Amino acid sequence: MNPERLARIRQMMALRQPDLTVCLEEVNKAHNVAAIIRTCDAVGIPDVHAVWPPAMRENFRAAKGSQNWVNLHQYDSIQDAMSVLRVKGMQILATHLSPRAVDFREIDYTRPTAIIFGAEKHGISQTALEMADQDIIIPMVGMAQSLNVSVASALVLYEAQRQRQAAGFYQRGCLLSFEEQQRLLFEGGYPRLAAFCQSKSLDYPAIGEQGEILANETWWQKMQLHPTKWENS
Ligand code: SAM
């Protein structure tokens, strides 16, 4: 991996916000999912949680591989997803157009926070609304009743980003686990080798300070390649 790539990945990791996340409840259009995940990456969210509509589960599983920089955690039910977020100690916000919702800009996003976004047609389920701590709304003063879900996510996430920037949350240094850093360095620095490892169910090697692969001869033999062949990978 060249030094520029290494520096770029290290910088990305240092700005990640593991205590901010998104949960998608049956968002069913692939382009909306992709746009939301892209926005998550842009504000430094490392993990997205999702429950897919039943008919879409296989499709979205297949699409997972393209979202390399953001981990996608999939659940069979919204209860399962929200229980995981609750155990992590996050306040859970439901983006929902209800009379009890507060303006999304009134929320303190420097707290560990999970934000739920709902399906294009039906919004967030009653189950999720009952489990959430707070409904939040993006004010609407025109004729349309709601925004596109990916637009709504961008507005809320950039308010969170603004607050976290002001609070110095992007100067905290890397908060990702060592294992996660190693995974990102390998997958980001050596994508072809990482894909090869995945296809052969091989462990990833360690990555050194200079971004070099620290693997023994056995690992390279398992890869059936000599290290020199991958120097410029
Ligand atoms: N008829 C649905 C409803 O009543 O919830 C509209 C769903 S909206 C098109 C899809 C998702 O976008 C919502 O579940 C919510 O996550 C988000 N959303 C859209 N506009 C919003 C707004 N003004 N305030 C909060 N969330 C919004």
CA of 62 to the centre of ligand 1 (A): 26
- The whole domain housing 43 covers 17-171
- Same structural domain, 156 and 79: yes
pLDDT tens per residue across span 145-161: 999 999 999 999 999 99
Residue nearest to atom 5 of ligand 1 (CA): 123
CA of 149 to the centre of ligand 1 (A): 6
CA of 151 to the centre of ligand 1 (A): 10
Q: Does 26 map to a domain?
A: yes
- Same structural domain, 78 and 101: yes
Query: What integer is the mean pLDDT of 173-201?
Result: 94
- Same structural domain, 140 and 227: no
Q: Does 10 map to a domain?
A: no
> DSSP H helical segments within the chain, as ranges?
3-14, 30-43, 57-63, 78-87, 126-131, 149-166, 178-189, 191-200, 217-222
Chain centroid offset of residue 162 CA: 18
pTM equals: 0.92
- Same structural domain, 131 and 91: yes
- Same structural domain, 41 and 152: yes
- Same structural domain, 143 and 212: no
- Same structural domain, 152 and 209: no
pLDDT tens per residue across span 87-97: 999 999 999 99
What integer pLDDT is reported at residue 48 of this predicted model? 97
What integer pLDDT is reported at residue 65 of this predicted model? 45
CA of 74 to the centre of ligand 1 (A): 21
> How many structural domains compose the chain?
2
pLDDT tens per residue across span 204-225: 999 999 999 999 999 888 887 6
Residue nearest to atom 19 of ligand 1 (CA): 147
Per-residue tokens: 103: 């303006």
As a whole number of angstroms, the distance between CA 131 and CA 82 comes to 8
What integer pLDDT is reported at residue 160 of this predicted model? 98
- The CB of 124 under 6 Å from ligand 1? The reply is yes
- Same structural domain, 145 and 210: no
- Same structural domain, 47 and 115: yes
8 A C-beta contact, residue 187 and residue 194: yes
Which of the listed residues 144, 171, 198 is the one where a domain comes to its end? 171
